[in-house]
Amino acid sequence: MPPPSEFDGFADKHDQALQSGLDLSGEKKDFFAQGRVNILARLLGTRPVPRILDYGCGTGSSTPYLLSLPGNTSLTGVDISDKSLDRARETWQQPHVEFHNLSTISQLGSFDLAFSNGVFHHIPISERATALRQIYHSLKPDGLFAFWENNPWNPGTRWVMSRIPFDRDAIMLWPRGARRLLSQAGFEIVLTHFAFIFPKPLGFLRFTEWPLRHLPFGAQYMLLARKKSSL
């Protein structure tokens, strides 16, 4: 990942910087944060995920939504930015919610679900395999990994990223390459899901997004992967 100081500098203005790019969609950041978790919840069905790891949690934007997933009893966020973690701790002072520096991940036990959103395009290419192995080893056998990334096929996504200071120099991951990286780390790819096709002015068409989820139209995509129990 980039040095922690880069993200420390955005800890107090992360949301404003992010929203400056998302304004194109007509939606606030919480629309997407909740949408990602709603999609994941629909795919999980009744499968419980008692212990959740939010990898690259930042200031904890996904926290309230991840806590709503079935059977959840604890949420642990990890990040490299101590200032962002401090903001997360101040905001989400709830039982069974913890935030730790990424360097301590091996001491945090095993998880039923790992979640990351827009994290890996910030990680240098040479370090991505190591990060994925780190997540793999943090999961219980048959644990799931919800890997969300921005879709390079979508020109709107590229335009939004160009307007966000901490995303301008990011190196995006193509879905096929991301699937290959996860497979090499030991994961079994369960599915690929594309989401967020229509901006708010075309919101009346959003009912079609679920049927179109296999087509690379959306602003983001999720790879749902499973830790192979035999490894």
Q: Where are the domains of the chain?
A: 4-227
Where does the pLDDT of residue 231 fall: very low under 50, low under 70, confident under 90, or very high at 90 and above?
Answer: very low
> Can you tell me the distance from the alpha carbon of 109 to that of 65, in angstroms, rounded to the nearest whole number?
22
Across the chain, mean pLDDT equals 89
Segment 29-50 shows an average pLDDT of: 95
* Tens-place pLDDT, residues 165-179: 767 788 999 999 999
What is the predicted pLDDT for the residue at 158?
84
Where does the pLDDT of residue 23 fall: very low under 50, low under 70, confident under 90, or very high at 90 and above?
Answer: low
Beta-carbon neighbour count of residue 216 at 10 Å? Answer: 15
Q: Is 19 exposed, middle or buried (0-12, 13-18, 19+ CB in 10 A)?
A: middle
Confidence (pTM): 0.90
Residue type, 158: R
Helix extents (H) in 112-228 = 125-138, 155-162, 175-184
Residue type, 113: L
15 vs 209: which has the higher pLDDT: 209
- Tokens, residue 120: 């890996």
- Tokens, residue 115: 């979640």
Dihedral over alpha carbons 131, 182, 190, 99 (to 10 degrees): 10
Contacts for 202-211: CB closer than 8 Å, 24+ residues apart: none
> Can you tell me the distance from the alpha carbon of 151 to that of 172, in angstroms, rounded to the nearest whole number?
8
Helix (H, G, I), strand (E, B) or coil at 100: strand
What is the predicted pLDDT for the residue at 17?
47
* Tens-place pLDDT, residues 55-92: 999 999 999 999 999 999 999 999 999 999 999 999 99
**CA 10 from centroid of its chain's CA atoms:** 18
In angstroms, what CA-CA distances link 144 with 83, 85, 136, 170, 174? 28, 24, 9, 26, 21
Segment 145-174 shows an average pLDDT of: 87
**Fold adopted by 4-227:** Rossmann fold (3.40.50)
- Helices 14-22/29-44 angle, 10° precision: 80
> Can you tell me the distance from the alpha carbon of 208 to that of 43, in angstroms, rounded to the nearest whole number?
17
Where does the pLDDT of residue 4 fall: very low under 50, low under 70, confident under 90, or very high at 90 and above?
Answer: low
Contact 111, 75 (CB under 8 A): no
